[in-house]
Structures are given as C-alpha cells and as structure tokens.
Chain A
C-alpha cells in the first residue's frame, strides 16, 4: 500500500513518490504544507526539496574539497618520504 506506507515507482521520465510525513517528526514541514491547497502540495514539496538540495550542495563541495585535500596531503607525504629516501640514496652513492 504505497499511499500508507510510503514508496516510489518509476515511470517514463519521472518518479512517482507517495510519501507519509508524520507531524511528530516534521512539524515545520507539515505546518508549511497545511497552509497550501491540497492540489499544490506536491509542487510545494518539490520546491522545498530543491531548496534543500541547494543547501546540501556546498556541503558536498566541502566534502569533495576535503577529499582532494587529503589526496594532496598523501601526495605531499609521499613526496616527503621520497625526499628522505633520495637523501639517503644520494649520501650512500656519494660515499662509495
């Protein structure tokens, strides 16, 4: 029972989602949707979801930036390790 338990189904070019929004968990969202006419509620949910995504995007960017920072930090660490190895190899080669 999609309407009761929540669920989604995919059709040609779009997703159809029936979603249950309990007012105990999302009181602000329920209050917002109640101010809108019944037939406009789906559009309201789409708008709110898009706004939510925009909020998430910078966080994702930060997450990606963090990963790239970690990669460059690993690269720097490897370069430093190679510098130590190079220094040892050069010193040994010159001493022979």
Chain B
C-alpha cells in the first residue's frame, strides 16, 4: 500500500512517502509556483532546472522554486490558498516527486481554523482524490485522502519516535506549529483532540520576517525583503548582502521574534483558559519552531517544551505515519 504524507506550506513543500510497513523517504522543496511564462527569461532558458514542470488545468507551471522567482505572479498568502493554482501546482509536484504510480492513501493537513470548517475539509479532500494529469504525459491516481489538523502530524511523529510513548498517553499535550502564514495549535488530551482549545494566529513566521526586514531597513537604509530573508534561512545562511555590505541577520531575526512571539504566546494561554486543567507538555513542531521557542517557554515556564529533530518535516512524517 502506497502512502503519501504531503504538507503544502506557504514556504516549503514537505513530503514523506513510501509503502506501508517501511520507513518513509522525506523531501523538501521551496513552495514557490507560477506559470512557466512568468519566470524570468534567463531562468526559464537555463538548461538545468531546479524546479519541476507540471500542468494545472492545461497550463504549464513551474513548481518547487523560491517564492520570489516569478515575475508578475503574486505569492498566495491568504486562507484560500488550497484552492489556488499555485497550491495545485505544488500538489502535482508532490505527486511527481513521490515516484509512485498510484497512491492508495494520501494524508494532508489544513490550518486548524480551516480544518474545523467541514466544507473546506471536504473541498480539499475532493480536490485531491482521483486521477491527476500532473504533466502532459503523466497521470497519477490518488485513491483516498484524509485531511487532518496540521499540528497533529507533528504530534504523531513525535509520539512514534518516543522511547516511552506511555508518557504522552495520559498527558495533555499542547502542540504548537509555527508555519510561514499561520501559527496553529491543538491540545491533545489522553490521545484525543480537544477542539475547543485549538486555534490559529496569523502572527506567524512571515510577520517575523517582515519585522526583521523593517528593522534592517531602519539600520541600513534598504529593504532586503521578506523572501530574501526566507531564502537565507532555508539555505542555512546567516548573512544577506545589502548595498554591497554583508549583514548578519540573526540579531534582527531574534529581535523580531522577541517582538512577535509573545503575541502568539498570549493567544495560546487564552486558548487554554477554556480548559479545566492546563497542558502538561508543550510540543513545538514546524519550520518556524525556532522563532517561537523562547516566547513559548516564557509563557509556560513550568512546562517541558520539546522540539523534535528536523521539526520542518515533523508534520509530513506524521501524516505518513497516520496513513500507514
């Protein structure tokens, strides 16, 4: 049985794929997608593409490229992202990268606020099920689709890797998933989702990058832009160049995290007020985990705050595990 866990984020496309009973392969691509004719000529004409060419409703798309590489094609940063052509292009790229002719079960996630909307959940499920023309000569069939709240993937991945999962079995675990567009959280109590204590905040990584770019502009007189900071982080670079000068971005990212992080931490605390008892453990997953760790620790000083290894893959790995 072929299983694909796919996490189509605003910044990265993450995949975990493979047969049930084996260990999954994982893959990450930047989540930029645009019609091929919107790419700069030099890039489009390069012999060696570092992105995938797919089709969406007959239109050729480039997918898996840095989000700032397309011209006259704006990045989709809104709640209706799953219904956009960019999202579909990334989905097709994911199907292609999974190297499977047929996918028996695909598991994906939605931000918590969207997951709680039955209509949006069903729409995504319908959109992803069936036969997909991913390139002019390639069709891939998805037999069944399961949609889950995004942070649940991170929880499942962590539980699977624990030496003793029984610690989590009777605990109340607050799973916080800071992504590029939103920070999502769920409370899992005794292995069940507590819907009333789940939530989403838009004070996410993109806001931190905007704030860092603003502070950099104040000090150095030019706007490096959110996407350049995003690319630098993706490539593990600590500096960006502005007006010929190399600038260390860590200080600015930390300052921005210190400003934005507490806003989310306050929302988290408010969200848990509906519960009779607080959380026992906080689990931080997702690509933006590093930005929010200190604020979350300060918000819950008496709780153990855990981050899995390679948190950016946690959701996709967990999705795969749920399907297998």
Query: Taking beta carbons and an 8 Å cutoff, which residues of A are in contact with B?
Result: 81-82, 84-85, 87-89, 91-93, 95-96
Bound CA–CA A85/B324 (angstroms): 13
Q: Is the CB of B148 within 8 A of A88?
A: no
Q: Which among B146, B148, B155, B165 is the interface contact of A81 at CB below 8 angstroms?
A: B165
Say whether A85 contacts B159, CB under 8 Å: yes
On chain B, the residues within 8 Å of A96 by CB distance are 146, 148-149, 152, 193
Contact indicator per residue, chain B 295-309, by CB within 8 Å of chain A (1) or not (0): 000000000000000
Give residues of chain B (130-186) contacting chain A, Cβ–Cβ below 8 Å: 146, 148-149, 152, 155-156, 159-160, 162-166, 168-169
User: B162 — which chain A residues lie within 8 A by C-beta?
Assistant: 81, 85
Within 8 Å by CB of B164, from A81, A89, A92, A95, lies A81
- For the complex, give the distance between the alpha carbons of A89 and B160 in Å: 8
A87 to B190, CA, bound (A): 12
Q: How far is the CA of A91 from the CA of B163 in the complex (A)?
A: 19
Query: Could you name 14 residue pairs across A and B whose Cβ atoms are closer than 8 Å?
Result: A81-B165, A82-B165, A84-B164, A85-B159, A87-B169, A88-B159, A88-B168, A89-B156, A89-B160, A89-B321, A91-B192, A92-B156, A92-B188, A96-B148
Task: Report the separation of the CA atoms of residues A93 and B164 in the bound assembly, to the nearest whole angstrom.
Answer: 20
Q: Which residue of B lies closest to A91 (CB)?
A: B191
Interface size on B, residues (CB 8 A): 21
Q: Across the two chains, which residue of chain B brings its CB closest to A88?
A: B191
Residues of A within 8 A of B156 (CB): 89, 92-93
B323 to A: closest C-beta gap in Å: 9
Are A92 and B165 interface neighbours, CB within 8 A?
no
Q: How far is the CA of A89 from the CA of B152 in the complex (A)?
A: 10
Q: Does B322 contact A (CB under 8 A)?
A: yes
Q: How many A-B contacts if CB must be within 8 Å?
A: 48
* Smallest beta-carbon distance A84→chain B, Å: 4
By a CB distance below 8 angstroms, the chain A residues around B192 are 91-92, 95
Whole-angstrom distance between the Cβ of B168 and the nearest chain A Cβ: 7
Determine the distance from Cα of A82 to Cα of B162 in the docked complex, in whole angstroms. Answer: 9
Complexed CA–CA distance, A87 and B179 (Å) = 28
**CA separation between A89 and B148, bound complex, in Å?**
12
A90 vs B148: C-alpha distance when bound (angstroms) = 13
Do residues A95 and B193 form an inter-chain contact, with CB atoms below 8 A? yes
B residues 177-225 touching A (CB-CB < 8 Å): 188, 191-193
Q: Determine the chain A residues whose CB is within 8 A of the CB of B191 once the complex forms.
A: 88, 91-92, 95
| Least Cβ–Cβ distance between A12 and chain B, in angstroms | 51
Partner of B169, one of A82, A84, A93, A95: A84
Complex alpha-carbon distance, A91 and B191, angstroms: 7
Let me know if B165 and A88 touch, CB within 8 A. yes
Question: Would A93 and B168 count as touching, CB distance under 8 A?
Answer: no
> What B residues does A82 contact at CB under 8 A?
160, 165
Q: In the docked arrangement, what's the CA distance between A89 and B156, Å? A: 6
Bound together, the chains give a CA A10 to CA B148 distance in angstroms of 70
Residue of B nearest to A85 (CB): B165
> B160 contacts A85, CB within 8 Å?
yes
Nearest Cβ distance between residue B196 and chain A, in whole angstroms? 14
User: Shortest Cβ distance from B106 into chain A, in angstroms?
Assistant: 14
Enumerate chain B residues within 8 angstroms of A84, measured Cβ to Cβ.
Answer: 164-166, 169
A92 touches B193 (CB 8 A): yes
Question: CB-CB < 8 A to A89: which residues of B?
Answer: 156, 159-160, 321-322
Output the least CB separation between A68 and chain B (Å).
Answer: 22
Query: Is the pair B149, A88 in contact by a Cβ cutoff of 8 Å?
Result: no
Measured between beta carbons, the chain A residues less than 8 angstroms from B149 are 96
CA gap between A74 and B193 in the complex, in Å: 32
User: Chain B residues near A87 (CB, 8 Å)?
Assistant: 169
Q: How far is the CB of A78 from chain B (nearest CB, A)?
A: 9
